[in-house]
Every structure is written in structure tokens, then in C-alpha cells.
Amino acid sequence: MTHREQPSLPTDDTLPHCWRLDTVRQTLVLAAFFNNALPCVVYWGARLDADEDLDALAAALTAPIGNNALDEPIDLSICPEIGRGMYGQPGLVVHDAEQRPVLTQFTLGSVGLHGGALVIEAVDRPTGLGYRAVFQTRAHSDIIESHAELSAGETPVTVAWLSAPVMPVSSTASHMLEFAGRWTREFGLREVAFARGVHLRESRRGRTGHDHFPAILFPEPGCTDNAGEVRALHFGFSGAHRLLVECLADGRRQLQAGVPEPAHLASGDVLTSQTTYLGWADAGLSAIGQRYQQHLRHHVVTHTATGWPRPVHYNCWEAVYFDHDIDTLTDLAGRAAALGAERFVLDDGWFGRRDDDTTSLGDWQVDTRKYPHGLAPLIEHVRGLGMRFGLWVEPEMISPDSDLARAHSEWMIAPNGRHQPTARHQQVLDLTAPGAAEYLFTCLDALLTEHEIDYLKWDMNRDLTLAVDGDGRPLLRRQTLAVYALLDRLRARHPRVEIESCASGGGRIDYAILARTQRVWLSDSNDAHERWRMQHDARLFLPSEIMGSHVGPRLCHTSGRRLSMAFRAGTALTGHMGFEMDVRELTEAEQQTLMRYTAFYKRNRQWLHTALDYRLCPGDEGETRAHMSVAADGQRFLLFSATLETPRSESTTPLCLAGLADHARYRVTLWNREDMTAPPTRFHASPLVTPEGLVLSGRALMHSGLRLPIGFPDSLWVVIGERIDLPPFSATA
Ligand code: GLA
């Protein structure tokens, strides 16, 4: 064919077919262009007018066909198919029983809106394979949940890959923002440039991983914290995951997400991709963060009666580690209660013969050497102090040195003839092995039934490696589903018990685990310096009230840093606050400071935990990080600004606020003036630092700003803002 020839394309008068799905501020348009094939997402952005001509919108995006290309356009459908000539990454890879590729050509069966969901059903006639995509909206939310399902026909197939409905990535997005990290340094936000080819983020660890919170953002050029367009995806699955962004040779970019493990489907079986959470916003990173936070609050997490308002925790881990002594623990509990703690969490070391991390996982019976009368006396003591009681467990694990392993070595994931490394001296229990999940349910149910426990810290401290069951079948997906089933069953039996998801800190955080838990242990780092950064960026997807954040020891155990009590306590109160140190080490001054910050947390938590968070842009080179939480009713806010390094400038520059009403007046005061007594600010004449504070309009605060005092590295300013009952400034004055 020469470049002058116009290929003759099959015509169908009724094409393209278009469908739209709207949230409060967002529209998604899908269009099927060709031969009744699967549709493509052709629009994902600001809500379109009700009478927008979708056919014209889609027709305007008809791809021209160049030389040296197939004579038909290859659509980037919600499931780009090898069988339709997709030359990039397919959304589905299937083989038959003889390992022959199945070249699907799905044809649309039905597309319909049901209960706020756009449901697309298609079938590949020769094989009977069924494909179903769901885009689900939820009341008052701008996040769309989507997943794909593949159902087998008459014959069995192996599915090597099934992506959730494939999304286009805007060709004008300037870069990707994603999370990279490690143990004690989770949620490191980083920029990645687009480049031709595939960018792959994958966890094969049987958990989301400290290194890969499964989410990605696509800011448009000029997108800042509080302005500009941005799209995002979070993949809600707590095990292995794959996020893939491909820049195709024809200029298109695609985004896929799924579970990177083959699945065998017998006739009638259905495989689901698991759910993605799609977000769009046009007011910067703060806005998209708010949309995810609000969605999580209203549609994912269910709080328990005793979990709200969010009680201050005392966790004994960094105080005693495995060295449980009832007198010490009762002493710590008393001191913690006096400082303001409301829930005492007994961490690792209470069961089996667990004197260190080499034994006893699986033996979920109280260690009577340490607790001769069981846990009841400690629980009674704790409750007598007015605190509730929480307990650490790590149900999915088994120590080779345990009674459980001696009785049921076949429950351990340790494939025959292969070396399975231990991690922290432990192995993983195969929850799909007959009897294993039942055993765990019985143990946990007994603990929760026999004791007044209203909280479990559910840990998961190692990767799944060589993840196959006793028959050698892949387990990454099924193990995670079995964890969900166990959690669901326990929650149904004990609905009053709150559960925290911990995996050596933030190794397992996603919306599917949060549908079954109410808190995440964001990181094993109690270092407020590291925490400040992590929490700042984790807020893009997680609201404060589910982010466990503890006041750690003066000398941080995971970094060796020494940090002031004001900075430690101030950082903790921006999450779900707790203490985790040997309270006996505290000086009188430290106790006073901790009590002051704890009381402040308690006074404000009710509204803080439903507030909207705004990231602020300090005018420096990254030495400070700041954010504001604005009450849902707009009547008050708190501004937190942390200095993390020696500022490069000799004084501070104005910090512009966000999220306020232009013409309302606000009284702003520096709440922690007392912590300003030392250098580096010798003198600050701003009325901000007086008890009366100053009064300014929202517009002035947002566009002119405030100059805060100069802070030492690792210090924090807390500014209170209250909307005051004065006539608003006139909009025209
Ligand atoms: C993990 C958790 C810690 C602590 C220990 C107990 O490392 O992240 O917070 O509970 O286990 O062994």
C-alpha cells in the first residue's frame, strides 16, 4: 500500500457507541468504535454538560491510520486484545490446556447503568470466554471503583494476566508520581519521566510491600499542590500487584493494574482483576488527596464504637520488646494513662514461649511463665485505669520452633525439595491448607471471647516466597483472599474489635485491607523526622485518622536520632496518635509537653478526623513541609509546618494558606508559642505569636500568607485558625 491509498474500513452506521458515567465533578466516557468490540475510555476528566454530544467527542478522537500500520485502527480498549492486533501490552493473556494462545475477539453483549455502575459485558464466541468490566460510582464521591472479570467457557484455560479495565494516560501529563521506599522509609513520593516502552512496578512479595504502595498519579503540566489537573489510580489488593504504564509507539499511553500470578480457570470459574480506584481532580495534589481520603472515609473503612473518637494508644513494643514482666507492664500502663493514653496495646511476646523472634508464632496461647494467671489481671488493671486493651497477633505466620509446626508441618509454605528461606526466623502458614484457617479462627475467636479485647494489631512480618500450596499450585492470590476470609469471619463474630494492619510497619497498606481494618501502622519508624515526610505524602491516599503515628523514644530506635518531645508529639498528633516508648525515661518537662500535645489532640480530634487536608508550598528548597487541616464546616483549621533541615535562607518566607473562604475572616494564633523560647528565633514581632493572634481574610491568608518563626531542624509550628463571627469582608470593597 502506498501512503496515498485510503484503506477501506468496515462501516457500521451506528458506530461509535458511547456511554457516560458521572460523579459529582467528574465524567468518564467510553466509546466502542469498531465492530462491536470492547469500548475504550475516551474521556476522563471534568464533568461534561448533560447534553454533551458524546458521539462527536468520540468521533473527534478517531485515530488516523499511517503507513506501515494495520488497515484497521487498534483501539486501546478497556482490555486491549492480542486477538485484535494489540502490539503493546495486552490487557488479557490466556492459554488453552495445550498452552496455545487464546486469541480473543470479544464482542459486546450489553452495556448498562445499574445502581451507579456502568457494566460492560462481552463474549468471545468461539471459546465462550466472558469478559465483564464494572465502573462503580459511590454517593458523594469522586472516586470511581473499577474491576474486570473473566469467566471461562466450556473448556478450562490458564489466565496469565488480567488487568483491571485499562485506562488511557493523558498524553499531556508531564510525568508520573509514584511511591518507592523501604522498611522504615515507606511512602517516598518520586517523579518518574515518561519514556517509550513499559514502566513496571510490581510486588511479588505477597503483600503490597514497603517499596511499592500500589498507586500512581499523573499530573498535568503546571499541577502543584493546590492547582492544576491530576489523575490517579490506586490498586486495592493486599498481596502481589503489578502496575504498568506503557508509552506506545503511536503516542498513546496506557495504564494497567492486576495480580501478577497465573490462574487456572475450570469451566464456569470466574477470575476477578481486583479493584482499582480511579481519581481525577483539577485543584492539585491536595484536591486528589481529599477525594481519596473522603472515599476511604465514607466507602471503605468502618469504624467500631470504641474506635471513635480515635483513642490515644500506648503501645509497649519499644519499651519492653519481648521482655514481658507483669509489674513493669502495669507500671507502664499506669504512667501512660496518667499522660493521657486511652488504649493499652500489648505487643509481641505474650504467647507461647516467645522470648525473642525465633519461636512460637502459631502458638496463640498465653505464656503462663510470664502471665501465671493469664492476661486477665493485666487487662483488669488496664481497664481499671480507664483504658481499653489491645493485643498484637501475627496469625499468618508460623515459627519452625513452635508446637504448631511440630503438629502441622504440612501447613508451612515450604515446597518439597526446595529451600525456603526463613525471614525473622519464621515461615508463612498456608491458609488454604485444610484446617489451617479454621485453627487460626478458633484461636483468635477464643482470645477475643475470653478477654475484654477491643483491638488487634494484626502483623505480617515476612514476604511470601516460593508461594505454592502443598500441591505446588500458585498461592499469591489465594493466600491473600484467605486472609480476607479470615478477617471477614472474625469481624462478623467480633464486630466491636478494631483491627490494625501492620506488616513490619507499612508493608501491607491498601484499600482492600482497609475495608477490613481501621488503622495502618504506616512505618516501624517512630522517628518524627522520617515520619513527617512519610505522613505528608501518604495523605494523598490515607486520612489522618487511620494512620497510626506514635510518640517514640527520645533516642529513636530505628535511626539513632534524638528529637525533642514537642516535635515527636506534634508529629504524632497529625495522625492517629499514640505513645510508644518507655514512659519511665520521660523527664518532668517532657511529660508536661506530652500531656499538652495529647490534650490538644483530644480537643481537636473529632473535627480533625473529618477535615480536608491541604498540602502547602513553603517558599524554600524543601527544608520545610507544611499542611493544613480545614474542618468540614470551614469554621476552623490547624496549620502544621515542620522544619526538617537547617533552612538555606536566614529567615522564613511567607507561607500561603489554602482551603479558606476568600471573604471570611479568620483569627490565627501560633498555638505552640512556648516551644519558641529557644533560638533560632530570638525575636518575632508578628502578632501571630501573641495570645490574641491576628485577624485576616481568607484571601489575604491564601495569597499573602504568614511568616512563621524560624525553626531549628526537626521542629514544628502549629497555627490555630478560627473563622470569626464578624461581617465578612465585602467582596467588592
Ligand atoms: C513488627 C511490627 C512492630 C512490632 C514487631 C513485634 O516489626 O511492625 O511494630 O509489633 O513486629 O514483633
Q: Mind listing the pLDDT tens digit for each residue in 615-630?
A: 999 988 889 999 999 9
Q: 342 C-alpha to center of ligand 1: Å? A: 21
Tell me how far apart the alpha carbons of residues 200 and 208 are, in angstroms, rounded to a whole number.
14
Characterise 658 by phi-psi region: left (phi > 0), alpha (psi -120 to 50), beta (else): beta
Best probe residue, ligand 1, of 316, 317, 350 (max atoms within 8 Å of C-beta): 317
Could you tell me what percent of the chain has a pLDDT over 70? 97
Pick the residue whose CA is nearest to atom 11 on ligand 1.
504
Looking at the chain, which residues constitute the CATH 3.20.20.70 domain(s)?
315-611
Cα 541 from chain centroid (whole Å):
5
Give the three-state DSSP class for 259: coil
How far apart (Å, rounded) are the C-alpha atoms in residues 705 and 701?
Answer: 5
Give me the mean pLDDT over the 223-232 stretch.
Answer: 98
CATH-assigned architecture of domain 315-611: Alpha-Beta Barrel (3.20)
Residue 320 CA to ligand 1 center (angstroms) comes to 12
Mutate to test the pocket of ligand 1, among 426, 504, 557 (most ligand atoms within 8 A of CB): 504
Contacts of 625-629 spanning 24+ positions with Cβ under 8 A: 625/532, 625/533, 625/536, 626/655, 627/536, 627/539, 627/574, 628/657, 628/658, 628/659, 628/721, 629/544, 629/574
* pLDDT tens per residue across span 128-182: 999 999 999 999 999 999 999 999 999 999 999 999 999 999 999 999 999 999 9
* Range list for CATH 2.60.40.1180 in the chain: 613-724
pLDDT band at 15 (very low <50, low <70, confident <90, very high): low
Report the pLDDT averaged over residues 304-312.
97
Spacing, Cα 522 to ligand 1 middle (Å): 12
How far is the centre of ligand 1, averaged over its atoms, from the C-alpha of 434 (Å)?
A: 28
Q: Provide, rounded to the nearest whole percent, the portion of the chain with pLDDT above 90.
A: 92
Domain 613-724 fold is Immunoglobulin-like (2.60.40)
**Probe residue for ligand 1, chosen from 392, 425, 531 as the CB with the greatest number of ligand atoms within 8 Å:** 392
Residue 2's pLDDT band, with cuts at 50, 70 and 90, is: very low
- Nearest atom within ligand 1 for CA of residue 504: 8
Does 459 qualify as catalytic in the annotation? yes
Judged against a pLDDT cut of 60, whether residue 731 lies above it is answered with: no
Distance 539 CA to ligand 1 centre (A): 23
Residue in 361, 358, 378, 359 with CA at minimum distance from that of residue 370: 378
pLDDT at residue 610 in the model: 98
The closest-lying atom of ligand 1 relative to the alpha carbon of residue 502 is 8
Calculate the average pLDDT of the chain: 95
Which amino acid does the sequence have at 375? L
CB 257 within 8 A of CB 246: no
pLDDT the model gives residue 3: 38
Q: Which one-letter amino acid corresponds to residue 624?
A: T
Q: Which of 367, 454, 510, 524 is catalytic?
A: 524
> Annotated catalytic, 75?
no
Paired sense of beta strands 388-393 and 455-458, if any: parallel
Please give the average per-residue pLDDT across 697-701, as a whole number: 98
Does residue 221 have a cis bond before it (omega within 30 degrees)? Answer: no
When pLDDT is cut at 50, 70 and 90, the band that residue 9 belongs to is very low
Alpha carbon of 177 to ligand 1 centroid (Å): 29
* Chain region(s) in the chain for CATH 2.70.98.60: 17-62+71-300
| Minimum CA distance residue for ligand 1 atom 12 | 348
Confidence of residue 11 (pLDDT cuts 50, 70, 90): very low
Neighbours of 446 (CB within 10 A): 12
Q: How far is the centre of ligand 1, averaged over its atoms, from the C-alpha of 500 (Å)?
A: 12
**Which residues does a 6 A CB cutoff place in the pocket of ligand 1?**
317, 347-348, 392, 459, 461, 502, 504-505, 521, 524
pLDDT at 346 over 60: yes
- What stretches of 225-373 adopt beta strand conformation (E)? 230-236, 241-247, 253-258, 263-265, 270-272, 275-281, 313-315, 343-346
Residue where the block lists cell 493514653 = 341
- The class level of CATH for 17-62+71-300 reads mainly beta
Is the model's pLDDT at 49 over the cut of 80?
A: yes
Q: pLDDT digits over 496-548, tens only?
A: 999 999 999 999 999 999 999 999 999 999 999 999 999 999 999 999 999 99
Site to substitute for ligand 1 among 348, 350, 358, 549, most atoms within 8 A of C-beta: 348
Q: Ligand 1, atom 8: nearest CA belongs to which residue? A: 504
**Atom 9 of ligand 1 has which residue's CA nearest to it?**
524
pLDDT at 591 over 80: yes
Which one is catalytic: 211, 459, 613, 675?
Answer: 459
DSSP string, 93-160: EEEETTS-B-----EEEEEEEETTEEEEEEEETTTTEEEEEEEE--TT---EEEEEEEE--SS-EEEE
Higher local confidence (pLDDT), 273 or 13: 273
Residue whose CA lies nearest to ligand 1 atom number 2:
504
More confident residue, 7 or 108: 108
pLDDT in tens, 387-409: 999 999 999 999 999 999 999 99
Count of C-beta atoms within a 10 Å radius of residue 533: 18
- Which parts are annotated binding residues for substrate? 183, 347-348, 424, 457-461, 502, 524
Q: For residue 444, what is its C-alpha cell?
A: 483468635
Q: Which atom of ligand 1 is nearest to the CA of 347?
A: 10
pTM of the model: 0.96
Banded pLDDT at 63 (limits 50, 70, 90): confident
pLDDT of amino acid 14? 53
